[in-house]
Chain A
Amino acid sequence: MKIDFYTVFWREMVVLRRTFSKFFASRLVGPLLYLVAFGLGLGRSIQMNGGSYMEFIVPGIIALSAMNTSFSAVGTNLNMSRLYHKTLDEYLIAPISAGAFVLGKVLAGTVRGLIASLIILVLAFLFGAHLAVNGWFFLVVVLTGFLFSALGAVAAMVVNSHEDMANFSTFVILPMSFLCGTFFSPDRLPQVFGYVINVLPLTHASYLLRALVSGQGMLPLSLAVLAVYAAVFFAAAVAAVRKVR
């Protein structure tokens, strides 16, 4: 298991190294636009909980970027590999377990999510945001990347066309991007929305990161929610790979 997952992870890192500049540039554009438009433009006159709007949205954008990057790194690639390139067959005929395969893919997706988050963190400092970053902060980013990578793996294994994969993003990932405490506090929405939003994983990632950078400390319940989502999505991805034959 140990070597097997590393082999899958190794392949992903070889490709990441080779295409790093392209990956870096693509991960820079979106957050940069968010920071300029919402942080500097729209947010200049807005105060949130006594701090600047920039400081409010940076944790949200980090959670959002970890989600998007990790989900698409695993979801899109694995779906293409299964349906179009058929490179998944190479792993299916190899003597490795479904668990090792999923772990390798998901860890690689997590690494990409973490890099995307670091890019935003550096940008935010350059834009003048004051954020208290510690080890817990990175743990939450890693957990966020891991759970959305695993969700990407589940989607890639069960969705049967590239078009439906895009639809999955539109109906699941996109609404979370905007509603889960990324750009505004969900408390402002009608309560019925609040109930739904509070069970979604990105909400807890945003809450946790915001609490950590503002010095409020850890939110154990949110951390537990993320851990449970990560475990459930990972188990579902392993089951989906086992079932693919």
Chain B
Amino acid sequence: MIEIRQLAKQYGSIQAVDGLDLIIDVGEIFGLLGPNGAGKTTTIRMLTMLTRHSGGSALINGYEITRDLSKVKKEIGVVPQHMNLDLELTARENLELHGRLHKIPGTERRQRIQELLDYVELADRAQDLAGKFSGGMKRRLMIARALMHYPGVLFLDEPTAGLDPQTRRKIWDLIRRMNSEGMTVLLTTHYIEEAELLCHRVGIMDRGRLIALGTPAELKKMVGEVVVEALNHGDTEYRFFAGREQALEYAGSLAENVAIREANLEDVFVELTGRKVGD
């Protein structure tokens, strides 16, 4: 369980995270969705103690992140956005290094390494240097590394950024599998589809603040479940409706070409901020 209270980070005059309040339950896949610069990565860096927070507090499985630092380190696994594998080591050695840093005894460590290499389907590449791996393989190895010391909470910062659609789905399957085995997952993403298809609950962040929170279905209900897109003097106008019938009725009243589709989390973001997630 992750309990975040009024967590804040200030860089000079910039408020990167501004009084974040959030509770993430055990066994949940929670997604922080928002554009670049929304404060998602800073939030993860604060929760994983790579960046000091300037205000508020956070508990991970009951341990306060600064007071109980060493206990928190054992509770969490971290997959950063930046590919930070040791490229001069093999896949096995990367896991070995992590296992040694977490003081896992030799026999257990070797067993765990084999188990995880099988889990992320890299057993046949165990002796290859991580520098020779593709983007998807590197990400899978980073996940295996984060799991080495049996953490209860896994942080994934943009876990599929820059990966092709097929590899992205493979990573999603892996995250779902870990979650089904009891892992609590907090991930950040700027991919709408990832937040909708993977996360049990989503928090939308913008300019350091949490501006909406709920299941993907609840969030979409906030704006209306069906969208009519109509072109008006070169600009696309969006109208939201609770049901398809009302949307069809409205679309029929318009002279120009229109498109009718289901609402997504991007629409929620646009409605709340007036901007697109990618802007």
A14-B89, A15-B89 are contacts. A90–B98 as well, Cβ < 8 Å?
A: yes
Contacting chain B: which of A3-11, A120-128, A173-181? A3-11
Chain A contact residues, majority secondary structure: helix
Asked if B88 and A18 make an inter-chain contact with CB atoms under 8 angstroms apart, the answer reads yes
Judge if A162 is at the interface, Cβ distance under 8 Å.
no
Asked if B98 and A94 make an inter-chain contact with CB atoms under 8 angstroms apart, the answer reads yes
Among B70, B84, B102: residue with most chain A CB under 10 A: B84
Which residue of B has the minimal Cβ distance to A100? B101
Residues 26-73 (chain B) with a chain A CB within 8 angstroms? 48-52, 70, 73
A92 to B101, CA, bound (A): 10
Q: Which residues of B contact A170 (CB under 8 A)?
A: none
Asked if B86 and A245 make an inter-chain contact with CB atoms under 8 angstroms apart, the answer reads no
Residues 77-94 (chain B) with a chain A CB within 8 angstroms? 78, 80, 82, 84-89, 93
Contacting chain B: which of A81-89, A146-154, A183-191? A81-89
Judge if A96 is at the interface, Cβ distance under 8 Å.
yes
Asked if B51 and A86 make an inter-chain contact with CB atoms under 8 angstroms apart, the answer reads no
Judge if A93 is at the interface, Cβ distance under 8 Å.
yes
A7-B97, A11-B86, A85-B87 are contacts. A93–B103 as well, Cβ < 8 Å?
A: no
Chain B contact residues, majority secondary structure: loop
Q: Which residues of B contact A95 (CB under 8 A)?
A: 70, 73-74, 101-103
- Minimum Cβ distance to chain A for residue B132 (Å): 13
Judge if A91 is at the interface, Cβ distance under 8 Å.
yes
Asked if B103 and A15 make an inter-chain contact with CB atoms under 8 angstroms apart, the answer reads no
Interface size on B, residues (CB 8 A): 26
Which residue of A has the minimal Cβ distance to B74? A95
- Minimum Cβ distance to chain A for residue B134 (Å): 18
Among A10, A85, A93: residue with most chain B CB under 10 A: A93
Judge if B169 is at the interface, Cβ distance under 8 Å.
no
Among B76, B85, B145: residue with most chain A CB under 10 A: B85
Q: Which residues of B contact A19 (CB under 8 A)?
A: 88
Judge if B170 is at the interface, Cβ distance under 8 Å.
no
Asked if A89 and B80 make an inter-chain contact with CB atoms under 8 angstroms apart, the answer reads yes
Asked if A96 and B80 make an inter-chain contact with CB atoms under 8 angstroms apart, the answer reads no
- One digit per residue, 1 when the CB lies within 8 angstroms of any chain B CB and 0 when it does not, for chain A 81-123 equals 0000111011111111000000000000000000000000000
Cross-chain contact of B84 among A7, A11, A85, A245 (Cβ < 8 A): A85
Q: Which residues of B contact A11 (CB under 8 A)?
A: 86, 89, 93, 97
Asked if A92 and B88 make an inter-chain contact with CB atoms under 8 angstroms apart, the answer reads no
Asked if B84 and A89 make an inter-chain contact with CB atoms under 8 angstroms apart, the answer reads yes
A3 to B102, CA, bound (A): 10
- Minimum Cβ distance to chain A for residue B191 (Å): 22
- Minimum Cβ distance to chain B for residue A76 (Å): 13
Which residue of B has the minimal Cβ distance to A245? B52
A11-B97, A14-B93, A90-B86 are contacts. A245–B70 as well, Cβ < 8 Å?
A: no
Judge if B100 is at the interface, Cβ distance under 8 Å.
yes
A245 to B69, CA, bound (A): 13
- One digit per residue, 1 when the CB lies within 8 angstroms of any chain B CB and 0 when it does not, for chain A 8-50 equals 0011001100110000000000000000000000000000000
Which residue of A has the minimal Cβ distance to B46? A245
Among A18, A19, A91: residue with most chain B CB under 10 A: A18
A87 to B78, CA, bound (A): 12
- Minimum Cβ distance to chain A for residue B146 (Å): 9
Q: Which residues of B contact A90 (CB under 8 A)?
A: 84, 86, 97-98, 101, 145
User: Can you list 10 residue pairs at the A/B interface with Cβ under 8 Å?
Assistant: A11-B86, A14-B89, A15-B88, A87-B84, A89-B80, A90-B84, A92-B49, A92-B50, A93-B49, A94-B73
